[in-house]
Amino acid sequence: MIAESHISFHTFPARGFVTIDLYTCQNDIDTDSICRRLIKAFGISDADTYIQNRGLRYPAEDIKQEL
């Protein structure tokens, strides 16, 4: 789903509840597709989705040279 960054899953099996945090600086990522895939994978019947654009100021090029 993503080539970098991370996905965190917080599961509460006794309550049938999961929260998922997907963090990436890929601004062109297809969030609708990812949400659908996660909903299907977890068999979720009711979901709240919050999308926050992150990494908007992520540098396009390295600014430091390696020693």
Q: Is the residue at 65 inside a domain?
A: no
17 vs 55, residue with greater confidence: 17
pLDDT at 23 over 90: no
pLDDT at 7: 87
Residues spanned by the domain of 14: 1-54
Tell me if 25 is assigned to some domain: yes
Higher pLDDT, 39 or 27: 39
Q: Which residues does residue 21 pair with via DSSP β-bridges, in sequence order? A: 8
Q: What is the mean pLDDT of residues 20-42?
A: 87
Q: Is residue 10 part of a domain?
A: yes
What total of structural domains would you count in the chain?
A: 1
Residue 49 maps to which CATH number?
Answer: 3.30.160.750
Residue 66 domain-assigned (yes or no): no
Q: Per-residue confidence at 4, pLDDT binned at 50, 70, 90?
A: low
Q: Work out the widest C-alpha separation in the chain, in whole angstroms.
A: 52
pTM of the prediction? 0.66
Residue 2 lies in a domain: yes
Task: Tell me whether residue 64 is in a domain.
Answer: no
11 lies in some domain: yes
Residue whose token pair is 């979720």: 44
- Average pLDDT, integer, range 3-23: 88
